[in-house]
Homo-oligomer: A and B are copies of this chain.
Amino acid sequence: MDVVKPIIEEEITKKLDITRLSSNGLIDSFWIADFGCSTGLNSFLAMHVITEAIQNKFQSQRSIINAESPEFYVFFNDHVKNDFNTLFRSLPPERHYQAAGLPGSFHKRLLPKASLHFAYSSWALHWLSQVPNAVTDPTSQAWNKGNIYYGGARQEVCDAYSSQYAKDIESFLKARANELVSGGLMALLVPGFPIKFDYSGPFYKGQMVMDHIASILIDMAKKGRISEEKIDSFNFPTYYTFPEELKAIIERNGSYSIERMEIFDNPGKYAITTAHAHASVYRAVFEDLMTNHFGSEIVDEVFDSYRQKLEASSALLLPEKDKSIIIFVLLKRKLE
């Protein structure tokens, strides 16, 4: 957020046409939504930056538009099992908005038509709505046997992941296009890689993580702790795009103009420096998925082994092994 704060502020100042956000003239209430907010810690800062920039915009145009700043409503979205209790209890007391929780998949419609003025999503769109069906289907060319991710896998597997991603982003863009008012803005922070990888080697960090976890699971299958079929039917439902791919999906949707697109280094790669911290972070990411698929009893064992692997060979912890970037896109809902 520190990196994109000046950009979001600049774009709101330049691109948000507050006189054209409502068909009836000026708006009383300004709606913002954060899609994939988790428990809110990063979201609260983003919502502060956005609401402050919009308030400044209203104040600077006060002589022209002759209206006070509107009331702000922020919809915090995440899936139904997200910890909204923690989110609500952590809301900053000094905030300038009424908060609402919006449970459900952001791949579907969540808000009324033409109600939303500013959409935001950070570090959430890499989550697929599901594991691509083909990769767990033994009759498919894209069956990802003995593997839990698309990195290092055959081209068919990579294509299945990339198709699912395109389908999901299309659903997201379509739902938001319905919800956004004409002229409404959408700021996306999407994790990805700078160029299209061929994914044929374990040369980036996310894939090394997956390779370690897959090999731990395979060892556990050899010991009879879990079945091989269970591993074959488990795949990790995220996908890291690259700028050209994301741009093509947005352009194909047709409802938005791309106002700005920038690439940033992923500051997360410098944040985790010990094997213990690394294992904790990935445990948090994997825990629900693994518990649902294999049962809770194997989770301790998997992440103890994972931490030991990292301690034995700590190359994974070097920031330069992590090639991930953040793609920042600012979109404007076209006027209809």
Question: Which A residues have a C-beta under 8 Å from some C-beta of B?
Answer: 24, 28-29, 71, 73, 75, 80-81, 83-85, 88-89, 91, 98-104, 109-113, 115
Q: Given the known inter-chain contacts A85-B84, A85-B85, A89-B81, please indicate yes or no for A104 contacting B115, CB distance below 8 A.
A: no
Contact assessment for A104 and B98 in the assembled complex, using a CB-CB cutoff below 8 Å: yes
* Contact across chains for B28 and A112 when beta carbons are under 8 A apart: yes
If A80-B91, A89-B80, A112-B28 touch, whether A102 touches B103 (CB-CB below 8 Å) is no
Hey, which chain B residues are within 8 Å of A98, CB to CB?
A: 102, 104, 109-111
- With contact pairs A81-B89, A84-B84 given, residues A71 and B101 touching in the complex (Cβ less than 8 Å): no
Task: Establish whether residues B115 and A103, one from each chain, have CB atoms under 8 Å apart when the complex forms.
Answer: no
Across the interface, A88 reaches (CB within 8 A) one of B75, B84, B110, B111, namely: B84
Q: Which residues of B have CB within 8 Å of A112?
A: 28-29, 71, 73
A113–B83 Cα gap in the complex (Å)? Answer: 29
Chain B's closest residue to A110 (CB) is: B98
Question: Are B88 and A99 touching (Cβ within 8 A)?
Answer: no
Which of B81, B103, B109, B113 lies in contact with A101, CB distance below 8 A? B103
A101 touches B101 (CB 8 A): yes
* Bound Cα distance from A110 to B72, whole angstroms: 11
A88-B101, A101-B103 known; A113-B80 Cβ under 8 A: no
Given contacts A29-B115, A81-B89, A85-B84, contact A103 B99 (CB under 8 A): yes
- Given known A-B contacts A29-B112, A112-B29, A113-B28, A103 and B81 have beta carbons under 8 A apart: no
Q: Please report the C-alpha to C-alpha distance between residue A111 and residue B75 in the assembled complex, in whole angstroms.
A: 12
What is the minimal beta-carbon distance from A188 to any residue of chain B, in angstroms?
A: 22
Quick one: which of B24, B28, B29, B102 contacts A100, CB cutoff 8 A? B102
The answer to whether residues A100 and B80 also contact, given A28-B113, A115-B29 and a CB cut-off of 8 A, is: no
Q: CA A102 – CA B110 in complex, angstroms?
A: 15
A109 to B88, CA, bound (A): 17
Residues from chain B with a CB closer than 8 A to the CB of A104 are: 98-99
Bound: A85/B75 CA distance, A = 16
Chain B residues positioned under 8 Å from A101 (CB to CB): 84, 88, 100-103
In the complex, the answer to whether B100 meets A88 with C-beta atoms within 8 Å is no
Complex CA gap A144/B109 in Å reads: 53
Residues of B with C-beta under 8 A to A24: 24
CB distance from A317 to the nearest CB of B (A): 34
Name 20 extra pairs, CB < 8 A, besides A28-B113, A80-B89. Answer: A24-B24, A28-B112, A29-B113, A71-B112, A75-B100, A80-B88, A80-B91, A84-B84, A84-B85, A84-B88, A85-B85, A88-B101, A91-B103, A98-B109, A98-B110, A99-B103, A99-B104, A100-B100, A100-B102, A101-B103
